[in-house]
């Protein structure tokens, strides 16, 4: 049976791992290569790296980081942040990334999703969606934001998710901006709405504070994978703690050594 | 020397890294001559089967691979590198493939999330050196939307469940192919490469 993936996320700025709260207030959380190796040995199922510098210099640093990580860890790697062209994507894939994640650029230039999927295969193309709950109205809805959560787009998150899959995205990395960094649980309503609307895997992100939050994202949110940062970076929970908790509750997970 | 075929599709770095990590010398090759003269050949794969076939044909690598395999020499196909060994694939219409193994590549039934992406168990259907030191039902990393269906069920060395049970490892003499990515499957995956190369080179003991 396909297991549910537990994915630590590393935000990288200038070659260092950082973590903020609701996209601001960054704190240093270590060397990316060391962290990647640590999570590999701990039994993480996959790693996501987001380059939050996203400048040309930052991207060079990131290519180097990805190369060094892929020399060391034999697990799937997704890299995102500031990838604007097929050339940018190809560079990351050649450096050792298995998938590239695009967010702002997907909104500005949806053709990039299609072109990327045609060039590298859908399985390589992850579209990251940052969504914020829209207050008021009878039915819950969420709006897509770009530019690291700075710019509202007017796009409905569920509709946008369907659209990116049509264009060729092979996976959706869905972050609730309301929940991100607060460690009070994922927005399971959002995750479920998107997961039920698309035929590709959905990674729930934003809000993990403890094992029960990940459990709920998988059960209530119907996520295929769950992503977390803070709870792993600061050692609040180990990957194994989380997996044991989930396994005890009947969620299929890959345990260490199996 | 382990020849890793580069047909211009993508990322070979992880496969090269895995082979190097095990203490073997990996060489990325892109000509039919290099394939024919290699001792051990690995055909990795990402992307679409039709593109892969087109790339192999363009360079004459298709005939080289067919000849190499027909001679019963050690060959490992990974993911798309497994799928193209079959007669044909449903991916993007119907495309003829290398036809080294009788059978076809089919799409997963609707209703399942596709790609089949993540870690899933491989049930070992036969005793085979490729599984040495790997527990039955160990997890490996998969990412694919199509699966192989060999005509001869006895070639199914490993099976995985995703909606249906499908063939995740084929073995036929010195040919082994996996639908999962051993280079992305942690220590169990490295063990697959190690087992394959060790047997291929006829060495008595592993290097690790």
Q: What is the pTM assigned to this prediction?
A: 0.94
**Is B184–A3 a contact, with Cβ atoms under 8 angstroms apart?**
no
B117 closest CB neighbour out of A96, A201, A254 = A201
Dihedral sign from CA coordinates of A38, A41, A43, A44: positive
**Is A258–B139 a contact, with Cβ atoms under 8 angstroms apart?**
yes
Residue B174 carries which DSSP code? T
Tokens of B86: 């079959």
Nearest chain B CA: its distance from A70 CA (Å) = 7
Strands A142-146 and A125-133, bridge-based pairing: antiparallel
Q: Which domains does chain B have, with CATH numbers?
A: 2-201 (3.40.50.880)
Interface test with B, best of A1, A2, A99 (most B CBs within 10 A): A2
Cα of first residue to Cα of last residue in chain B, in angstroms, is 17
Nearest chain A CA: its distance from B71 CA (Å) = 32
CA distance A81 to A30: 19
Cα of first residue to Cα of last residue in chain A, in angstroms, is 13
**Is B120–A3 a contact, with Cβ atoms under 8 angstroms apart?**
yes
Tokens of B45: 């794969």
Is the interface score ipTM higher than 0.90? yes
CA distance A139 to A141: 6
**Is A74–B17 a contact, with Cβ atoms under 8 angstroms apart?**
yes
CA proximity to A252, closest of A225, A229, A227:
A225
Active site residue B181: yes
B60 shares contact with chain A (CB less than 8 Å): no
The partner residues of A50 in beta bridges, in order of sequence, read: A11, A80
**Is A2–B144 a contact, with Cβ atoms under 8 angstroms apart?**
no
DSSP string covering A114-136 = HHHHHHH-GGGEEEEEEEEEPPS
CA distance B155 to B176: 10
**Is B13–A95 a contact, with Cβ atoms under 8 angstroms apart?**
yes
The partner residues of A171 in beta bridges, in order of sequence, read: A126
DSSP string covering B74-120 = -EEEETHHHHTTEEEE-TTS-EE---SEEEEEEEPPTTS-SSEEEEE
B159 shares contact with chain A (CB less than 8 Å): no
Dihedral sign from CA coordinates of B28, B32, B37, B39: positive
CATH 3.20.20.70 at A5-248, yes or no: yes
CA proximity to B5, closest of B72, B104, B90, B85:
B85
Tokens of A67: 């190369």
Radius of gyration of chain B (CA): 16
Residue A1: CB atoms within 10 A of its CB come to 9
B115 closest CB neighbour out of A46, A96, A170 = A170
- Encode chain A (258 residues) as per-residue pLDDT tens digits: 999 999 999 989 888 888 755 455 566 778 999 999 999 999 999 999 999 876 777 778 899 999 999 999 999 999 999 899 999 999 999 999 999 999 999 999 999 999 999 888 899 999 999 999 998 878 899 999 999 899 999 999 999 999 999 999 999 999 999 999 889 999 999 999 999 999 999 999 999 999 999 999 999 999 999 999 889 888 889 999 999 999 999 999 999 754
Count chain A–chain B contacts defined by CB atoms under 8 A.
99
């Amino acid at each position: 049976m396909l297991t549910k993936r537990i994915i630590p996320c590393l935000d990288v700025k200038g070659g260092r791992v950082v973590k903020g709260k609701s996209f601001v207030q960054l704190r240093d959380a270590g060397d990316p290569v060391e962290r990647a190796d640590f999570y590999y040995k701990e039994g993480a199922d996959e790693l996501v790296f987001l380059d939050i510098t996203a400048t040309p210099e930052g991207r060079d640093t990131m290519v180097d980081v990805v190369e060094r990580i892929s020399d060391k860890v034999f697990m799937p790697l997704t890299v995102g942040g500031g990838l604007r062209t097929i050339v940018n994507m190809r560079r990351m894939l050649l450096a050792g990334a298995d998938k590239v994640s695009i967010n702002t650029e997907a909104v500005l230039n949806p053709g990039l999703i299609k072109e990327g999927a045609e060039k590298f295969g859908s399985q390589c193309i992850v579209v990251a969606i940052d969504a914020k709950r829209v207050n008021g109205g009878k039915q819950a809805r969420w709006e897509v934001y770009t530019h690291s959560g700075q710019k509202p787009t007017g796009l409905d998150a569920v509709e946008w998710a369907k659209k990116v899959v049509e264009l060729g995205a092979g996976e959706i990395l869905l972050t609730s901006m309301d929940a991100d960094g607060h460690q009070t649980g994922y927005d399971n309503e959002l995750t479920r709405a998107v997961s039920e609307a698309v035929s590709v895997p959905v990674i729930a992100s934003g809000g993990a504070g403890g094992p029960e939050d990940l459990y709920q994202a998988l059960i209530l949110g119907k996520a295929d994978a769950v992503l977390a940062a803070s709870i792993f970076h600061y050692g609040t929970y180990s990957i194994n703690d989380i997996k044991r908790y989930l396994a005890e509750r009947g969620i299929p997970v890959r345990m260490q050594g199996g | 020397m382990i020849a890793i075929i580069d047909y211009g599709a993508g990322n070979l770095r992880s496969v090269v890294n895995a082979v190097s990590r095990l203490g073997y010398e990996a060489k990325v090759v892109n000509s039919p001559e290099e394939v024919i003269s290699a001792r051990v050949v690995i055909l990795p794969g990402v992307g679409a089967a039709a593109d892969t076939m087109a790339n192999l044909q363009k360079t004459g690598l298709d005939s080289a691979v067919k000849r190499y395999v027909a001679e019963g020499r050690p060959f490992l196909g990974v993911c798309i590198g497994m799928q193209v060994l079959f007669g044909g694939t449903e991916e993007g219409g119907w495309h003829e493939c290398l036809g080294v193994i009788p059978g076809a590549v089919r799409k997963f039934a609707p209703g399942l999330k596709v790609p089949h992406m993540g870690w899933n168990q491989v049930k070992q259907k036969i005793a085979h050196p490729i599984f040495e030191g790997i527990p039955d039902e160990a997890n490996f990393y998969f990412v694919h939307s199509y699966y192989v269906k060999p005509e001869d069920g006895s070639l199914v060395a490993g099976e995985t469940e995703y909606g249906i049970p499908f063939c995740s490892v084929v073995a036929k003499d010195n040919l082994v192919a996996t639908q999962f990515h051993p280079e992305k499957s942690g220590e169990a995956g490295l063990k697959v490469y190690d087992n394959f190369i060790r047997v291929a080179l006829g060495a008595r003991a592993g290097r690790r």
